[in-house]
Amino acid sequence: MLEATLNEAATLKRLLDAVKELVQDANFECNEGGINLQAMDNSHVALVAVKLHADGFALFRCDRPIPLGVNLGSLTKVLKCAKDDDKCTLKAADDGDVLSLKYEAHRADRVAEYDMKLMDIDADTLGIPDTDYDVRVTMLSSEFARIVRDLNSLGESVRIEVSKEGVRFASDGEAAQGNILLKQTEAARERYENYGKDDDDQAEEVKEEEDKPKKAKKAKKVKKEEGLEDEDEEMVSGDNDQAEFQAKSEDEGEEEVSDSEKKKRKRSTASSSAKKKAKKAIDDMAEGGGGGVHIEMTQHVNLTFSLKYLVIFSKSASLSDTVQLMLKNDVPLLVSYTFGQGYIRYYLAPKIGDD
């Protein structure tokens, strides 16, 4: 039995806006920790991972893990029927094949109920490459969206190059060739330096949007060039240059999530005020002048990606003011949006060679 109430239906709507473009059907894995979704697009080039923390819900109850096989098109239709600020309750029986959605106006004079058929979906939980990225770019999600949309009108792919100069997005098209250079914003750098003095603060900024302690550490590495740690990740890591993701067993997936959840909570408690400070710095950057770009780099990187997918990813801008791009040569790009109730992350394999 799943019963979960979100205070704003808009969260779900926005989440689906981008995901439905990538995959038609997907399992919402519900367990005590919250709701997860992982799916690859049909061509196995892009992967999307969504997490909604249980404590991001106004009410959350899930007695035992349930996979909800959902046709995202249908779910989108049903969500369209919710007003953005409606209270939204999801319900599913343990063995049922129906997902019920209840929308309640806050004034309680309107109650809408929808029942959606569920389906069985092959449940290959996918292994997400755990990568020690060399670069993290934090920027306005709207700016990222603008850039990929602009370049998408010129060509099919974009080369993303990060150097001391900044981050450059370049695209070649038949009609024209274009590139956009974003320099580290002075203001952003200053704020960064201030808060960066305390390494824990800085690391927490990342941890906040990371489930896996390992990744948090790696983010630290991005800043301080610490050595790698925790190379026991069950999946591809390091020199992964393949364009496709691999499936792993479902059990491993579950384990990983709940395990890291615990660790995350421990850390959060330890330094939550510092975290807030760091978060504030990021927020300031986001608002402080419409273009703050924050770059952390241990290595120059230069990769090429399909713009089609980046344009789809960038539709998640409505979920968060900022987006983080994590890069490392020959490894899938990670595009991450973090919001109050969880996150949505996209992984996109780079184009190899000159295609």
Footprint of a second copy on this chain (CB under 8 A)? 71, 73-74, 77-78, 80-81, 83, 105, 107-117, 143, 146, 150-151, 153-154, 175-183, 185-186, 289-291, 293
From CA 209, how far away is CA 342, in angstroms rounded? Answer: 8
Task: Tell me whether residue 302 is exposed, middle or buried, using C-beta atoms within 10 angstroms of its C-beta: 0 to 12, 13 to 18, 19 or more.
Answer: middle
Task: Compute the least distance from the CB of residue 287 to a second copy, in Å.
Answer: 14
From CA 153, how far away is CA 263, in angstroms rounded? Answer: 44
Task: Compute the least distance from the CB of residue 339 to a second copy, in Å.
Answer: 25
* Residue among 26, 25, 30 nearest 3 (CA): 30
Task: Compute the least distance from the CB of residue 93 to DNA, in Å.
Answer: 30
- Indicate the Cα dihedral angle 277, 315, 295, 242, nearest 10°: 120
> Closer CB to DNA, residue 150 or residue 200?
150
Task: Compute the least distance from the CB of residue 299 to a second copy, in Å.
Answer: 23
Task: Compute the least distance from the CB of residue 249 to a second copy, in Å.
Answer: 31
Task: Compute the least distance from the CB of residue 205 to DNA, in Å.
Answer: 29
Check the CA dihedral 276-9-21-149 and report its sign: negative
**Binding site partner of 247, from DNA, a second copy, none, Cβ cut-off 5-8 A by kind:** none
Task: Compute the least distance from the CB of residue 81 to DNA, in Å.
Answer: 11
From CA 246, how far away is CA 262, in angstroms rounded? Answer: 26
> Closer CB to DNA, residue 240 or residue 314?
314
From CA 94, how far away is CA 83, in angstroms rounded? Answer: 28
* Residue among 125, 120, 113, 122 nearest 96 (CA): 120
**Binding site partner of 115, from a second copy, DNA, none, Cβ cut-off 5-8 A by kind:** a second copy
The H or E element containing residue 286 is helix 272-287
**Binding site partner of 50, from a second copy, DNA, none, Cβ cut-off 5-8 A by kind:** none
> Closer CB to a second copy, residue 154 or residue 257?
154
| Interacting residues toward DNA by CB under 7 A | 84, 149, 315
Please name every residue paired with 316 in a beta bridge, in sequence order, or none if there are none.
none
**Binding site partner of 266, from DNA, a second copy, none, Cβ cut-off 5-8 A by kind:** none
SS3 category, 232 = coil
**Binding site partner of 315, from DNA, a second copy, none, Cβ cut-off 5-8 A by kind:** DNA
> Closer CB to DNA, residue 282 or residue 317?
317
**Binding site partner of 81, from a second copy, DNA, none, Cβ cut-off 5-8 A by kind:** a second copy
Please name every residue paired with 30 in a beta bridge, in sequence order, or none if there are none.
35, 66
From CA 29, how far away is CA 65, in angstroms rounded? Answer: 7
- Tokens representing 322? 């900022």
**Binding site partner of 179, from DNA, a second copy, none, Cβ cut-off 5-8 A by kind:** a second copy
